[in-house]
Structure formats: structure tokens, C-alpha cells
Structure 1
Amino acid sequence: MTRSTIVRSAVLAATTALTAAALAVPAQADGHHRVFADSLPSVTPRAETPALHDDDEGGNADADDPAIWRNAAAPDRSLVVATAKEGGLRVYDLDARPVQSIAAPPAAGEDDAPGRFNNVDLVHGLRLSSGKADLAVTSDRGNDRLSFYRIDRDRAGGPLSDVTDPAAPPVFSQDQAEINDQRTAYGLATWTDRTTGKSYALVSRRERTSIALLELLPAAGGKVTYRKVRALDLPSSFRLPDGTSWSPCAEPGELPQVEGMVVDPANGMLYAGQEDIGVWRMRADLTGTPKLIDKVREYGVPGVYDEETEECTPGADPGFGGTRISSDVEGLTLLTEPDGDGYVLASSQGDNTFAAYDRELEDANEYEGGFRVAAADDTLDGSEECDGAAVLNAPLGSKYPNGLLVVQDGHDAPGDGDRDSTNFKFVDLAEVMDALDD
């Protein structure tokens, strides 16, 4: 996690008692009662990837965000592509075994500064100068750029090959000095507009509220580049019902950032998790007015930042927050169903749960329930402080005939001494559907 995430975690720890007390308060205007995390149904993983370790000895790798690529010709040979931050990209088979490891490009302009892949998503059938291809797209936080990898399942040397145009521009930064400040490309969601066939990436900015829309374009030699279409800034301060103005407590200069994002291709709507605020819905072309469909429980809680401890001291909870998710709200993914129904799933990192919202706009994205990913046994634990998630409701051969949910585990157990351990858990989607149907 980033230092800002650690700061926010301190706020969460300090506000746990306040939040628990608020749970006894009568339901807010939306008519829903507050949901206790331990009352939600549990699902258990079938497999997990090897642990990654965020230190020099472990390659400074930190599991973060997954994407599921389905091999239409041989679903049993589908892949999970995942970011490991300074560890680059990891590719796994459906048994959660490593298939390929790709280093992140070193950050330009700083001696020995590592690269850092933050989020990943997929684009299917993008037309390149060398023909159509499926791509894994990553946000390269170290260089404020996107990186592109062509997926060829049986390619010698591994299924992913770099097809990034070396001339691809920075997403947000005007010069190298800005890139060095690391307020760079962060969250990521891809989208293909069904009316035009054009493919895009939506990219958020670290420690800022900005989201940029980039059109993905072919470049010479089978490479991929992009151009910025427009950008949008979400609010950083909010008017509360009592008439006061509120911003979440953070390190000076930091604004409430967005990371988890997903686009519903059926209606072109983007769902974005502003970590300390809640879940937004907006047009994926970034026109129109964003709508906050749910708030985190800590919304409206005042706080004072202490420079010595680099932590926030929270004040009393005024009770203006939501009832179902706790900051940080991070990994967002879309669970589609053949009949057009389905869910937007959001990782409620603060209480180790996942919230499900109806994807139908006519239902105003109503909350439909939630679940936890709990330990299967003494050797296969669940998911805590989940950063990223990906779901695919399609048969994946004999291993996952009902589809697959992959979630990041921010605290893999058993741990390895003093080293932080993270990895990814693989969950049979049938379990998730059963939990949401309860």
C-alpha cells in the first residue's frame, strides 16, 4: 500500500469504535440498516498464487490488481494477468501457478529508481498494424504512462510481449520533474465503445481526483500508443447536511484519489471508487455529471493530520456516511449475467468485505448484498484489505466451469517472518452467486 493508504488505515483503526457505535444509530434516509461485516455470507478460495514480498529480498513485489483473460479456443488454458507494483507483471494459469514474470521499466530521470505497475485491464481485438490482438494494459506509475502487452498464449518465452510505443506520452505530467513527484498514472479501466468500435483507457491520478480518457491507437511496427481525449476532476471537498464543508484527512497536499474503476459496456457507464469518499457513476466518455451512488462509512468524519506521527486523529462521527462500505473503497469489477442482470462489485477494504450493486440504472444501482472471502482451511486463507479484484462469468474449462473471481489478499497467511506477504485468491464464481442470492 502507499503511504497515503497507510495514513488512511490509521484513521480507520482509530474510527473503528466510533463506527461501531454509529451502527446502533437508526438507519439513514436510504432505508438500509448498517451491515456488520461478520454477518455477511462467506465464500472460500480454491487456489492461491505464491506469496509476493514487498522487500529487497523478495524482489520488492506487492500484489495489487488482477485481470482474467479467457482463451476462447481452450478455456482450460486461460490466464490471470496481475500487477506486482515494483515487481512488474505476473501471469498465472488457472491453477494459480506462475507462467511469466515481466519487470516494470525503470523510472526515467532518477538514478536506480524502480518502475511500478499499479493496475491492469484487458482490451480484446484491438486493431494493430500487425493485425488484431488481445492486450494487457497497465498503468506505469513510475513513468506516468501506459504499457501494453500483446497476449499470445503459446508464444515461446511467455504469452505476453511488450508492444508499447516508445514515444507514448505521459498521461498527466508536463515534464520529468512532475513525473518525479509521482502524482502519476494510477487506477485503470479499459472500454470499447460499441457504437464506434474505438477502444479507450480511463486512468486516474495518484493523490489527485483526476480521471483522464485516452483513446488507444495503433502505432508503427505493431505497437500501441494513445491520445488524451479529455479529463474530469471529481470533488475533493463536500458540503455536509449540517451546512459545513468536509474533506477527508490526509497528508498535506494529498487529495482523495481514485483507484478502482470499471466500465459497464452495455451502457457506457464508468464506476469509480474514490477511496475515502465512495463509489461514483458517470459516463465513460467523461461528459455529464458524476453521481455518488454510495458513500463510505467514514464520510464526513473530521480529522487532524499529525506531521510527527504521519497519522490523522479523527473527531466524532457526525453520521453522514454510508452503511455498507468502509474506506478505502478500491477494487471495482463487473459481474455480468446473460440476461443483462449482474452486479458492480466493490472491495470495501476497511472491513474486508465486498459490496454488490445492481448494474441496472433503472434500479439506481441499488445495493444487493455483500460477501467475505474467508479462509478455506489452515493453509488457504481468505482476503484482507483487498486492493484489486476481477470477475469473469464465463466457463473456464473443468477448473472453473461457472466462472472465476480473483481477489488480491493484502495480508497473505501464514506470513514469512517480518516480511509483508501478499498474493491473489481464486474463487469459484458459483459460490459468489450463491452468496449474493442468499
Structure 2
Amino acid sequence: MYRRLTNRQHVRSIALLLGTALATLAAAVPAVPAEAGSRSSGDLPAVSPRAETPALYDDEAGGDADADDPAIWRNAAEPGRSLVIATAKQGGLRVYDLDARPVQSLPAPSAPGPDDAPGRFNNVDLVHGLRLTSGRADLAVASDRGRDTLRVYRIDRDRPGGPLTDVTAPGAPPVFSADQDEINEQQTAYGLATWTDTSTGRSYALVSRRNRTTLALLELTAAPGGKVGYHKIRTLDLPSAFRLPNGSSWTPCAEPGELPQVEGMTVDPATGTLYAGQEDVGIWRLRADLTGSPHLVDKVREYGIPGAYDEETEECVPGADPGYGGTRLTADVEGLTLLTEDDGDGYLLASSQGDNTFAAYDREPGDDNEYEGGFRVTAASASLDGSEECDGAAVLNAPLGTKYPHGLLVVQDGHDAPADDGRKATDFKFVDLADVMRTIDD
């Protein structure tokens, strides 16, 4: 029978335990010198959102909707009428205009049987100009964690009843599972990033697997009737255990049977480079075609800290910090997105979920993606709060009409200002990209 699983609630408990444990150990453990360019989260500059979407609620009264991951679609003909497309997990997809107002709501697929998992959308990304049997189209591609498939939507800004239309080919196969029983175990399609290979023109989705380290490369293909299908090219497993400088082996603490998963991913189309955030480990850089060897760009602060899983409390109890972690990311590392600039420069942005900050790295792998700075998204007013425990982010460095003439950053807020009835709320914040660039460039 399908078991509805919470969104890594134990991780938040671990973060609290780690904070207490590290404070206690501070006097006993020798300080590790900070890496060049690192700053504490309290020292980072702040930016404030210009707008926020209506709150989503992950309960029956709110339609089991939980904000997770956004993508920004630019309307080339009328940039001021561009859209933000975002996942609401079991609530499906939401589409917003640049005022953060709802434009469309699409449900996740229903469960095939009473004991089976329903659709649950996790991450979304875009493909531009894919050739279909009905002509070229821009697409939104979402990972359906509940059904272990991809769902594909055509984007037509002015279509009546639109702007999104489901064009997923019938019989879309599971990404990782062999049958419905495996799907119900929910070790399924999780993180997602799209990539169009400039050398061949072919388009792909890179998909991670929940509670596993596996990444899959899926080619998107035209199917009859203007539909879109996909097939698997290859898979790659990132490490789940790591050799520490003292010669010991370390694996991030988790529930029995779980491995350190990847969610946040983005591809640099100019170089065909995939960046993947392994939540309790750090950020990997590897070829988007999943060949070659991955390179760990940066580590979370908790890297190397031993932990023991307590069956009674369902929490990890951390041990002493050996000092092998990074200085800029606090687990989980989430929400990777690429900020490109006209001159070819740019930044990889990552959400440091554990301390509510964002880190910026140089886009150029030749510079080993040097850390360039960080920022926080804080409240603009009593009625417009900032972003906490950010799950997903999307950035677009292009004019978007008069609202965002310098571009837009959209970030998920895992703790929206509390509702009057006390329910947990999530939403998406819209941040002027010019404000972000000033914090990084300074």
C-alpha cells in the first residue's frame, strides 16, 4: 500500500540538533580556519522581494499543495507577459504572471488504484523550441515523484483555457521503477533539469532518484499527435560514502535504507555541464551526458560529521565535527539555478537551506567555480516576508517588461508568513535581479 511520506521533516529536526551540538562543541573542537571569501550568514547582504504568490497549504483543506520549484518562461513577443511555472507537489502545477497572480492551476495525475500513489510534482524546467509533429513548441517538463514519470506541457500564452496544455505521450514509462509496487515505495523521479545539446539539437531531461544517488539522462522525443515522449539513455550513481582526510569513511546519516539524494540541478548549456546538489553532501559538477567523472565543487558545513539514527525519535544524533566541511552551504543544498550574462560570464546560484541564504559561484569551471559571494532574501514589509528553507529557485537575466527590466529571481519560501488559522504555508517570492546583482558585485 502507498505510504504518503512527509517532505524530509526529519532533516529539519537534524538541522536543529546540529545547531545545538555544534554550539556545545565549539569550545572543545579546535577552530578550522575559514576559507578565503567566506562570510557568516549574518554578514551577508540582504535583498527583498517585490511580490509573492498566494500561499499554498499542504493539507486537505488547502488541496495538499506545497510550493517547491519554479521556472521562468519569457514571452519573446511581449516580455511583460512572461510567466512563472511552478510545482505544488500533490497540488500539481501553478502558473503565475509577473505580478505573482495565479493564471492557471493544473492537477497532478490521480492514483491508478485506491492503494496506489497519486501524482506528486517535484521539480520543473523548460525546453525551448522542441520540434513536435504539430510544429515547434516551448515546453514545461515536470518530474512526477508520485507516479515516477515525466509530465510535459506545451506553453501557449494566449490559448483559451491555457497557457499550459498536457502533451505527455500516452503510456509514458516509469523513470526508475519496474512496476506499480516499486512506484508505491516512492524511490522515484525527484529532481529535474533540462538540457538541449547545442551540437546535436537534441533535448534531454536529467532526473534524480528519491532516496538514492542515481541520475538518469532521458531524451525527449516527438510522438504522434503533437505529444512528447522520452526514453532513457544512461544512468550514473554519485557516491554515497566518502573517504575523509583522516582515512575514515563517512556516509551522511539518514533513515535506514536511504542514501544521500540529489534534488537541485541545473545545466550550463554553453558547456554541457550539469551541476547537481547532493543535499547532505555538496554541489557536484559533471558532464550533462553523464559520462566522465563528477567533481565536488563545494561541500556543506555538515560534511564529515558522523551521526547515528535513533529509531525511537526518528532523528539523527550528530557526533563531533571533525572540521572537514565547507563554509558557505548549510544542509540541505537545494535550488540550483544558472545566471548567465551577455559576455559569457555568470553565476551558479545555490540555496543553502539550513541557514536561509544563497551562495553564488563563478560560472566558469576553469576557475573551479570560485565562490563569489552570497545573500539573503528578507522581508520587504510586515505583509511581504522573505524566504526561509528555500527548496527551489529560478533566475532569468533578460528584460521582462516594466516590472523586471533587469531580469528576475524566483525563490520558494518554505515558511510563508503564518496563516490566521495556524496552518503551515509556502509560496514563491519574486526578486528584482538588479538587486541581487548589486549584492554579488559588491
* Aligned 1:5-404 pairs, distance under 5 A: 5-19=8-22, 21=26, 25-27=31-33, 31-32=35-36, 34-111=38-115, 113-404=117-408
- In 1, the alpha carbon distance for the partners of 2:107 and 2:356 equals 30
CA distance in 1, matches of 2:5, 2:341: 35
Q: Output the TM-score relative to the length of structure 2.
A: 0.96
> What SS class does the counterpart of residue 436 from structure 1 fall into?
helix
Pick which of 408-417 and 276-285 moved more.
408-417
Aligned-CA RMSD value: 1.5
Runs of 4+ in 1 over 2 A off after TM superposition: 1-5, 17-24, 31-35, 107-114, 414-418
Match of 1:427 in 2: 431
C-alpha distance 3-35 of structure 1, shift in aligned 2 (>3 A): farther
**Percent identity, aligned pairs only?**
73
Distance 1:415 1:238 in 2: 42
Tell me the CA shift for residue 33 of structure 1. Answer: 6.3
Cα deviation digits, residues 4-42 of structure 1 (max 9, x gap): 6222222211111444539982426xx426531110000
1:366-395 CA-to-partner distances (Å, cap 9, x unmatched) read 110000000001000000000000000000
Name the SS of the counterpart of 1:57 in structure 2.
helix
Q: TM-score, normalised by structure 1?
A: 0.97
Q: Is the CA contact (8 Å cut-off) linking 1:110 and 1:180 kept in structure 2? A: no
> What SS class does the counterpart of residue 8 from structure 2 fall into?
helix
Deviation of residue 360 (structure 1)?
A: 0.5
| Deviation string, structure 1 residues 94-147 (Cα, Å, up to 9, x no partner) | 000000000000133444743100000000000001000000000011110000
8 Å CA contact 2:418–2:424 kept in 1: the answer is: no
Deviates more, 1:32-41 or 1:333-342: 32-41
Residues 24, 382 of structure 1: alpha-carbon distance in 2 compared, 3 angstrom cutoff: farther
Residues in 2 aligned to 1:370 and 1:128: alpha-carbon distance in whole angstroms? 41
The 1-side partners of 2:439 and 2:21 are apart by 29
Report if the CA contact (8 A) 1:26-1:33 is conserved.
Answer: no
Aligned mates of 2:37, 2:312 — CA distance in 1:
38
- Specify the code of the residue in structure 2 equivalent to 1:273: G
Give distance in 1, aligned partners of 2:114 and 2:290.
33
Partner AA of 2:13 in structure 1: A
Q: Deviations over 1:153-204 (max 9, x none)?
A: 0000120000000121110011111111011000000000000000000000
**Aligned partners of 2:419 and 2:276: how far apart in 1?**
32
Shift of 1:415: 3.1
Contact 1:295/1:325 (CA < 8 Å) preserved in 2? yes
Maintained 8 Å contact 1:51/1:423: yes
- Superposed CA deviations along residues 250-291 of structure 1, whole A, max 9, x for unmatched, are 100000000000000010000000000000000000000000
Determine the C-alpha separation between the residues in 2 that align with 1:60 and 1:379.
24
Distance 2:399 2:421 in 1: 39
Query: C-alpha displacement at 1:307, in angstroms?
Result: 1.2
Structure 1 residue identity aligned to 2:91: G
Letter in 2 for 1:361: P
In 2 relative to 1, CA 312–126 (structure 1 residues): closer, same or farther, beyond 3 Å?
A: same
2:15 partner letter: L
Q: CA deviation at 1:309?
A: 1.1
CA contact (8 A) 1:27 1:34 kept: no
Q: Which moved more, 1:344-353 or 1:415-424?
A: 415-424
Distance 1:11 1:414 in 2: 23
